């Protein structure tokens, strides 16, 4: 996975963006059945705004992960004293969790930063329990731009396209609960089949 630049961090760590991300995470969470004690994983949690918000509002056991130790430190500083929340620095393409560890696995605006993003998606689905929920929201690129980006920049960043995401997700035992796809945004909620 790839760390954000200082300019990107300035934007994503701003209070207004943090609030927007938190509300978006809650809107997607409201599309599924949430029960007390469920384990929730936020892959690419950044400053921890969404996991903190969700851990305060819902009786979930929340884990936020990010590859950037500075972002994790910021998240930990803002969440002190919350017993149902933890943060860890790790690469989302190699999760140290056992298969089926989480009831809900979510990512928001992260995969376009991940050079080998299909590996991260595969890991997210691997650590999801059967019957659990996969929540994905990110930017997408038109097919021609994704191909050009890979050619010009190589593995510098991920270039998920609608076709690539559709093809990848069709390989997994998932049932679609929500889908909202536009020219630049791909948002889905799936339930993992038993």
**Going residue by residue through the chain (194 aa), what tens digit of pLDDT does each one get?**
556 667 666 656 688 878 999 999 999 999 999 999 999 999 999 999 999 999 999 999 999 999 999 999 999 999 988 999 999 999 999 999 999 999 999 999 998 888 889 999 999 999 999 999 999 999 887 665 656 556 555 554 567 888 889 999 999 999 999 999 998 899 999 999 97
Contact 166, 5 (CB under 8 A): no
End-to-end CA distance of the chain: 30
Residue 156, pLDDT score: 47
CATH among 3.40.50.150, 3.40.50.10860, 3.30.930.10, 3.40.50.2300 for 20-192: 3.40.50.150
pTM beyond 0.75: the answer is yes
Q: How far apart (Å, rounded) are the C-alpha atoms in residues 124 and 127?
A: 6
Domain residue spans in the chain?
20-192
């Amino acid at each position: 996975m790839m760390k954000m630049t200082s300019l990107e961090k300035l934007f994503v760590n701003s209070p207004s963006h943090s609030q927007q991300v938190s509300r978006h995470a809650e809107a997607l969470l409201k599309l599924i059945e949430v029960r007390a004690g469920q384990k929730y994983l936020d892959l690419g949690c950044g400053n921890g705004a969404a996991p903190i918000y969700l851990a305060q509002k819902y009786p979930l056991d929340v884990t936020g992960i990010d590859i950037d130790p500075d972002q994790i430190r910021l998240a930990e500083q803002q969440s002190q004293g919350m017993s149902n929340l933890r943060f860890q620095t790790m690469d989302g393409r190699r999760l140290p969790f056992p298969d089926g560890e989480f009831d809900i696995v979510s990512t928001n605006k992260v995969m376009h930063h991940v050079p080998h993003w299909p590996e991260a998606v595969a890991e997210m689905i691997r650590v999801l329990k059967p019957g659990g929920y996969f929540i994905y929201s990110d930017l997408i690129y038109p097919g021609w731009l994704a191909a050009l980006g890979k050619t010009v920049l190589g593995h510098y960043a991920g270039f998920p396209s609608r076709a690539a995401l559709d093809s990848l997700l069709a390989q997994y035992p998932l049932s679609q609960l929500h889908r909202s796809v536009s020219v630049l945004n791909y948002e889905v909620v799936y339930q993992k089949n038993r």
